[in-house]
Structure 1
Amino acid sequence: MHQGLIADIAAAGLLPHPTHDSVRTILVSPLHHSEGPSADSLARLVDELDQALCACPAVADLSGRTIIALDNGSGDVCYERPDLGAVAQPNGSWMILLAAAPTPLTCAQNHLVEILAAAAQYYAEFPRQQWRMVDEEQCRETILMQLREHYSRQLTELKDADVSLPPRFQPTAGITADTVVATIPFGRMTAEAAQELAGFGYSVRFTPWHSVAIYGVSAAARDDLCTALTRLGMSVDPRHPANWISACGGQPGCRRAHADVRGDAWQQMHSSDYQPGVRIHYVGCARRCGHPNAQHWERLATAQGEYVETLMDADGRTPVTSGGHQLHEL
């Protein structure tokens, strides 16, 4: 590859970090929250946290499945089962998250990066046996103890009654003030669509929910933008099935998959019997990749050529119903 091109890509920040790229998955609330920090403030926090993580040799050993969340108080990314993170509080402080749950520890925003980087280091130093913190016995309690021991001056402890998350909120497609949110079926966008989206000249942010938030859209430009997004295969309709139907990679890309689950999910999206608001996730094998972090109907392809449908809890592993039933042959 031409060295000048490599230099340009590196200058744009698009090259993976040589040692720490697996621990740079930081989810951030995409929409403004009236009682939360500004978008610029959140962006600075992300940059500072990313730099702090990359400067810590220990965290390079964490799993690529590690998720860090910065929730601006909306109640969105804090429900994505993060290993660690924080939720902005109305008084300007941040409540620390560990193992997908709130803790009684809060800190001022100017200490947040330091606290989260320390928590990530403690997590890396814990004798881990699982991919995720939520599956590690005693890990959360050990990190809480270490934070209390080493950062008592920076931390404030809440009463148990005050330890809670804001009500859950998941942005769906639609228009809010000067922001347009468009759903991307299965989260897949062609290179041509990405180039055209960039060419519109707006600031954009991709979300964890197979959508893109487009900022600074004037009322006069909305209709033309929405028309262009539809032409590119996206939707700004909050009732579009792509808001609720998802799938793992499936065949032919995954050798473990028993079916072309995205093809079947696509057919479901365009069937007349689908009821908007019913969350369905198609999976090609028992690994259940890509499941929503919310209660959903799972359609699991089997080696016997059928789908088994089961109502699953948010963890993607625990059935809410007593058992599945065969839906149809593949």
Structure 2
Amino acid sequence: MLAAMPASPHISRSPGDACARSSGDACPGALRLHRADDGALARIRIPGGVLTPLQAGALGRAAERFGDGELHLTSRGNVQLRGLAPDCGAELGGLLDEAGLLPSARHERVRNVVASPLSGLDGLGAADIRPWLTGLDRLLCGSDSATALSGRFLFALDDGRGDVDALGADLTLLGHEDGALLRIGDTDAVLRVPFSDAPRAALTAAEAFLGSAGDSGAWRVKDLPDDSAAALPAEVVRRLRAAGIAAAPGRRSRPLEARPPAPGPVPGGRREAALSVGVPLGRLDLARWRLLSSAGELRLTPWRGVVVTGIGPAHAPRLRSGLSEAGLITGPGSPWAGVGACIGQPGCAKSLADVRADAGAAVGPAGRLPVYWSGCERRCGHPHGEWIDVVATPGGHRISHVRGELATEAATVRDDPAALSAAVAAARGTRT
């Protein structure tokens, strides 16, 4: 039996931590392009992953006009455009602004908000958090102090079902029968606040974090020095009460696993239908993107999937069939379910392998655990909770089983596709 060992720091990172810490926050945005081996890269923040058909159409045109013709979904429900010309920034920004995707140029990189993608659709959860989403984004874009947040800092809006609460956000709002809960970092300590004050409470807590960070260089709550982290909850309570927001201490365990919506029709719809769709490796060419966005409003998920809403019931079966024929995941049993990978070669200079091709070659029967393929030790965009970690190394692919902050002792498989496929399948287990 492989012994458990503490996960190394790079395993315990949250999504988005791939941005290099040097003299400043280098995370890319829509207006700050990042140079990659396959051209410039733009990351467009989409709070809650919500896109109107008009906005989705604008992103498709941007990918076609400026990029490699694909839209790359991220682990925060955002979109990346790759293969951009380095001088396209002004034209790209104008196109996005016209579509309402850049409500504030000063805040575009801090609009990092994930939300329960099925909230208000399936009748589950303690509350519909859509008012929080629009409210928090409006408050963020109106706050001068919020511009000091890093491109990594993450808000999560969970309707009470515990899906995005497991993503390790810096600040999490949770729907609760008595109002709302505010979680600061990864601790089980939460604050109870009124439902209508939840977005304002989250922004106030973010401002308290900035005050606690001071000159420490902390970009996220988990980066705070121990004494600052310990003092932060009390400082948040003080600021909330000063702002006239009632706050009381409470406790709620953070779930270990962040479970994505099951692919297929979303139960509970009446006049309109919704469909949860998985996207292999998070890559959508223009034909697939247009097929998705022509059906209704989109909600991009932190699991690199899409929930299509507002579908006419008569159109839903035909749409599902068309998406399935296009290679997307629209039901159980797909071998691609739970398979993820970073961009790998040739797009990333740090990658030691074309891990997307490796993942495709190793796809087999659906596994019990998700698997994530990384081209280097940074593990950009890796999942949370329990998963199989496959990392390219100079000596082959290292495979380990990650659960929370612990990882099994790793085994390395040399570059033998058949052996690698068998080892990954065995590590993932059989879905029951």
Q: TM-score, normalised by structure 2?
A: 0.67
- In 1, the alpha carbon distance for the partners of 2:375 and 2:274 equals 35
Identify if the C-alpha distance between structure 1 residues 275 and 188 changes in structure 2 by more than 3 Å, giving closer, same or farther: closer
Aligned partner letter, 1:246: G
- In 2, the alpha carbon distance for the partners of 1:312 and 1:29 equals 24
Q: How many residues align?
A: 314
- What do you get for the CA RMSD once the two structures are aligned? 2.5
- In 2, the alpha carbon distance for the partners of 1:227 and 1:252 equals 33
Q: Name the structure 2 match of 1:103.
A: 189
Identify if the C-alpha distance between structure 1 residues 320 and 247 changes in structure 2 by more than 3 Å, giving closer, same or farther: same
Q: Name the structure 2 match of 1:37.
A: 127
C-alpha displacement of 1:163: 2.8
Q: Name the structure 2 match of 1:194.
A: 289
Q: 2:109 is paired with a residue of what secondary structure?
A: helix
Aligned partner letter, 1:107: V
- In 2, the alpha carbon distance for the partners of 1:6 and 1:78 equals 32
- In 1, the alpha carbon distance for the partners of 2:338 and 2:203 equals 34
- In 1, the alpha carbon distance for the partners of 2:91 and 2:340 equals 39
Q: 1:165-204 to 2 correspondence within 5 Å?
A: 165=254, 169-177=259-267, 178-200=273-295, 202-204=296-298
Identify if the C-alpha distance between structure 1 residues 22 and 102 changes in structure 2 by more than 3 Å, giving closer, same or farther: farther
Q: 1:148 aligns with which of 237, 244, 248?
A: 237
C-alpha displacement of 1:255: 0.4
Q: 1:212 is paired with a residue of what secondary structure?
A: strand
C-alpha displacement of 1:57: 2.2
C-alpha displacement of 1:291: 0.9
C-alpha displacement of 1:27: 0.6
- In 1, the alpha carbon distance for the partners of 2:206 and 2:103 equals 19
- In 1, the alpha carbon distance for the partners of 2:344 and 2:141 equals 33
Identify if the C-alpha distance between structure 1 residues 4 and 329 changes in structure 2 by more than 3 Å, giving closer, same or farther: closer
C-alpha displacement of 1:276: 2.4
Q: 1:92-241 to 2 correspondence within 5 Å?
A: 93-125=179-211, 126-127=213-214, 128-138=216-226, 139-152=228-241, 153-159=244-250, 162-165=251-254, 169-177=259-267, 178-200=273-295, 202-241=296-335
Q: Does residue 329 of the first structure (1) align with residue 415 of the second (2)?
A: yes
C-alpha displacement of 1:183: 0.1
- In 2, the alpha carbon distance for the partners of 1:183 and 1:229 equals 10
- In 1, the alpha carbon distance for the partners of 2:314 and 2:415 equals 49
Q: Name the structure 1 match of 2:152.
A: 65
Q: 2:161 is paired with a residue of what secondary structure?
A: coil
C-alpha displacement of 1:111: 1.1
Identify if the C-alpha distance between structure 1 residues 203 and 117 changes in structure 2 by more than 3 Å, giving closer, same or farther: same
Identify if the C-alpha distance between structure 1 residues 22 and 167 changes in structure 2 by more than 3 Å, giving closer, same or farther: same
Question: Where does structure 2 lack aligned partners over 5 or more consecutive residues?
Answer: 1-87, 268-272, 417-432
C-alpha displacement of 1:79: 0.7
C-alpha displacement of 1:13: 1.1
Q: TM-score, normalised by structure 1?
A: 0.86
> For the Cα contact (< 8 Å) 2:344–2:355, is it kept in 1?
yes
Identify if the C-alpha distance between structure 1 residues 263 and 17 changes in structure 2 by more than 3 Å, giving closer, same or farther: farther
C-alpha displacement of 1:85: 2.0
Aligned partner letter, 1:189: L
Deviation per CA, 1:277-308: give whole Å up to 9, x if none. 2221111111111111121111110123x101
Q: 1:46 is paired with a residue of what secondary structure?
A: helix
> For the Cα contact (< 8 Å) 1:172–1:243, is it kept in 2?
no
- In 1, the alpha carbon distance for the partners of 2:93 and 2:373 equals 38
C-alpha displacement of 1:52: 1.3
Q: 1:23 aligns with which of 101, 105, 110?
A: 110
Q: 1:275-314 to 2 correspondence within 5 Å?
A: 275-304=366-395, 306-314=396-404
Q: 2:354 aligns with which of 260, 281, 299?
A: 260
Identify if the C-alpha distance between structure 1 residues 133 and 150 changes in structure 2 by more than 3 Å, giving closer, same or farther: closer
Which has the bigger relative contact order, CA under 8 A and spacing at least 6? 2
> For the Cα contact (< 8 Å) 1:95–1:103, is it kept in 2?
no
Deviation per CA, 1:81-136: give whole Å up to 9, x if none. 10112100023x11001113343311112211211111111222323434432232
C-alpha displacement of 1:320: 2.3
- In 1, the alpha carbon distance for the partners of 2:366 and 2:290 equals 33
Question: Where does structure 1 lack aligned partners over 5 or more consecutive residues?
Answer: none
C-alpha displacement of 1:246: 0.7
> For the Cα contact (< 8 Å) 1:248–1:284, is it kept in 2?
yes
Q: 1:242 is paired with a residue of what secondary structure?
A: coil
Name which of structure 1's ranges 105-114 and 57-66 shifts more when overlaid on structure 2: 57-66
